[in-house]
Structure 1
Amino acid sequence: MNDTDVSKQIQQMVRFIRQEAEEKANEISVSAEELNASRIKVLQAQDDVVNEMKEAASKELLNVSRDHHSYRHLLQELIVQSLVRLKEPAVLLRCRKEDVHLVESVLDTAKAEYAAKVHVHAPEIFIDHVHLPPAPHHHNAHGPFCSGGVVLASRDGKIVCENTLDARLDVAFRKKLPEIRKSLFGRVAA
C-alpha cells in the first residue's frame, strides 16, 4: 500500500467518523428538543392546575360577602387596616354599590377603633359616589368585577390602599405560590 492509498483510506475514515459524529449530534439535538417540549408541557399543565385553584378560590370569595353579619365585621377590619396604612386625616372610601349600607353601618366604629389604635383624632371618611364594580355574574363574566372589600385613598388620590377581597387574594396567592407549587408538585429538579 502506497502513501496515496494510505492517505485516501485515512481521509475516508475521517469522513466516516465525522459523519457518525454529526448524526449523533443531530440525534442528541432532536432528543433535547423533545425533552424541552415535554418539560414545557408539564410546566403548562402545572400552571393550569395552579390557575384553576386560584379561580376556585376567587369564586369562594363571593360567599364571603353573602353572609352579611361576618362580612360587615370584615369590612370594618379592612377599613381600619387601610386607615392604619394610609395614616391620613381625611380619606375617600370606595366600595361596591351593594356594600354602601354595610360600610355606612360600620364607619363610626371603624373610625373610633383606628383613632384608639393609632392615638390620633378620628379621620374624616368620605364615601365616593363612584363605586367598585359589582360581583361577577354570568352575563358580565369577562368584565371588571369586585368580590367585595374597600379601596381607600388620600384626598388628593396620590396614596391608595386597595383592600378588596380580590386584591388580597392576589397578594396572598403570589406570596404563597412557591409553597403551593411545592405542596402540589413536590420538589422540582432543576
Structure 2
Amino acid sequence: MSRIHALSDDQVGQELQKMTAFIKQEANEKAHEIQIKADEEFAIEKSKLVRQETDAIDSTYAKKFKQATMSQQIARSTVSNKTRLRVLGARQELLDDIFENAQQRLSEAAKDENKYEVTLQGLILEGFYALNEPELQVRARKADYELVDKAIEAAAKEYKDKVGKEISATIDEENPVSEGSAGGVVIVGTGGKIDIDNTFEARLGLLRQSALPAMREALFGKNPNRKFFD
C-alpha cells in the first residue's frame, strides 16, 4: 500500500510559482494575440477610411473639373457666338452701305437724257416681252413723259421686228410713278391686274437678291457651311 506524501511548504511554493508563471505566460500570449488582431483591424479600418476619403476627394475633384470644363466650354461658345454675330453684323453693314451707295447713285442714271432714253427703251421692251399683250400702259414719273413717249415708240418698233406682232402702249397719266423715284417705268397689262415693275428701285432690289451670294463670296470668301447653290 503506497503512501501519499504531503508537499512541503517549499514544494507548494514552487508549484504555485510554476502555475503563476504558466498563467502569466498564457495571459501575455493572449494579450499579444489580441494586440496583433487589434492592430490588424485598426490597419484595415485606417486603410478603409483613407480609401473613402481619397475616393471622396477624387469625386469632388472630378465634379469640380467637369464643372470647370463645362464653364469653359460655355464661355468659349458664348464668345464664339458673339464674335460670329459681330462679324456677320459688320459684313451686313458693309453690304448695306454698298447698296445704299448704289441707291444714292441711281438718280445719276437719269441725268444723261440720251443714255436714259435708251435705258427706258430697254425696260419697256422687257415688259412688252414679259406681258406679250397688244395693248399696254406705261407708268412713269411726270418729268419723264416726253422721253418715255419716244422710248415706247422705239420699243414697239423693235418688238414688231423681233416678234412680228403689233403692240401699242400709252402712258398711264392717272397713276404716275412717284417723283421721289430715281427713274424707270412700270409696264401694266390685263386691265391693270398685272404689272412689271421696272423702276430703278425695283431693279436694284432684284439685283440685291440675285447678286448678294456672289457679292458675299467676292468680299468675304466662300462660306464653308453653305451646302446648296443656286
TM-score by length of 1: 0.86
Q: 1:87 aligns with which of 124, 132, 137?
A: 132
CA contact (8 A) 1:94 1:151 kept: yes
Report the counterpart of residue 144 of structure 2 in structure 1. 99
Higher helix share: 2
Report the counterpart of residue 175 of structure 1 in structure 2. 210
Q: Which runs of 4+ in 1 moved over 4 A?
A: none
2:220 corresponds to which letter in structure 1?
F
CA contact (8 A) 2:145 2:171 kept: no
CA contact (8 A) 1:92 1:152 kept: yes
RMSD: 1.7
- State whether structure 2 residue 195 is matched by structure 1 residue 150: no
Q: Report the Cα distance in structure 2 between the residues aligned to 1:8 and 1:182, rounded to whole angstroms.
A: 60
Q: 1:53 aligns with which of 98, 107, 131?
A: 98
Q: Report the Cα distance in structure 1 between the residues aligned to 2:66 and 2:191, rounded to whole angstroms.
A: 70
How much has 1:66 moved relative to structure 2? 0.6
**Residues 34-45 of structure 1: matches in 2 within 5 Å?**
34-45=79-90
SS state at 1:156 partner: helix
How much has 1:4 moved relative to structure 2? 4.8
Q: Report the Cα distance in structure 2 between the residues aligned to 1:126 and 1:100, rounded to whole angstroms.
A: 8
- Bigger radius of gyration: 2
How much has 1:5 moved relative to structure 2? 4.5
Aligned residues: 180
Q: With CA pairs under 8 Å and 6+ residues apart, which has the higher RCO, 1 or 2? A: 1
- State whether structure 2 residue 156 is matched by structure 1 residue 111: yes
- State whether structure 2 residue 177 is matched by structure 1 residue 132: yes
How much has 1:46 moved relative to structure 2? 0.8
1:158-184 CA-partner distances (Å, limit 9, x unpaired): 221111112112212221112211221
TM-score by length of 2: 0.72
How much has 1:188 moved relative to structure 2? 4.2
How much has 1:56 moved relative to structure 2? 1.0
Q: Report the Cα distance in structure 2 between the residues aligned to 1:93 and 1:43, rounded to whole angstroms.
A: 41
Q: Report the Cα distance in structure 2 between the residues aligned to 1:107 and 1:166, rounded to whole angstroms.
A: 20
Unpaired runs of 5+ residues, structure 1, are 135-144
CA contact (8 A) 1:153 1:160 kept: yes
